[in-house]
Amino acid sequence: MPPLRRRKCGLPCSSGAGYTLANRQVSARALSGVYAQHYVRTVAPFFDHKRDALLRMTRSRGEKPLVVLLVSGWHFENQFEYSFLAGLWGFPMVTGPDLTVRDSRVYLKTLAGLEPVHAIVRGIDDSVCDPLELRGDSLLGVPGLLQAVRSGTVIIDNALGAGLAESPARRAESLALRDLEPVRTPRPRSRSAPAPAS
């Protein structure tokens, strides 16, 4: 059997966490006995903490916080994951044309008018986020987004440039880290019931 290879997705964006939760929920229903027997920990608190952290970071502005998930369109490879997270968190999933920047502030276009956006969970490649300052041919991003970020009026979760760690230029560092001696940590104690006293 050939060795497994890591596939480069091309998007230095957080990906996979939503799939993890969805798969865990399905597995927990299908294998409820196994999960109960082996004390499988839930991953749901991570998502609650992340949502709460995003809301907490935006509440300091004194307005009702609006967090959006910015995606490239409705037919992209991670659509299921971002749709799942949007439903779980209650945040709208939007594309670049759904947003606009006015006076260095990001707004969501709605039928009732413009609503200020306080945080963006980025699901698109950073190079296409702002056609004014990055790739001018991008139809996916939001013109003026980087100016809004610099002004401090919006927070981007999965910040621009976060994919640097995955850069091929850093491969030598990654290989050197791989060869370091692993840190030994104590194994956690089993949660199984204590043996009956004899």
- Give domain 17-161's CATH number out of 3.40.50.1220, 3.90.1170.20, 3.40.50.11290, 3.40.50.300: 3.40.50.11290
**What is the bridge-based pairing of β-strands 93-94 and 67-70?**
parallel
Helix (H, G, I), strand (E, B) or coil at 103: coil
Q: Which token pair is 173?
A: 């560092």
> What is the per-residue DSSP string for 146-165?
HHHHHHTS-EEES-TTGGGG
Is 142 in contact with 99 (CB distance < 8 Å)? yes
Q: Which token pair is 128?
A: 């296409």
Report the distance separating Cα 137 and Cα 140, nearest Å. 9
pLDDT(193) > 60: no
Q: Which token pair is 147?
A: 């100016």
The predicted-structure confidence for 52-62, as pLDDT tens digits, reads as follows 998 988 876 67
Distance set, CA 11 to CA 46, 66, 120, 160 (Å): 22, 24, 16, 11
The amino acid at 7: R
Q: At what angle do helices 79-89 and 44-59 cross, to 10 degrees?
A: 70
Q: Average pLDDT in the 64-80 region? A: 84
Per-residue pLDDT band at 187 (split at 50, 70, 90):
low
pLDDT(158) > 90: no
The predicted-structure confidence for 94-140, as pLDDT tens digits, reads as follows 999 999 999 999 999 999 999 999 999 988 888 788 888 788 787 78
pLDDT(67) > 60: yes
Report the distance separating Cα 97 and Cα 89, nearest Å. 22
Assessment of whether the complete model's pTM goes beyond 0.85: no
Helix ranges restricted to H, 60-144: 79-89
Half-sphere exposure of 70 (CA within 13 A, CB side): 35
**34, β-bridge pairs:** none
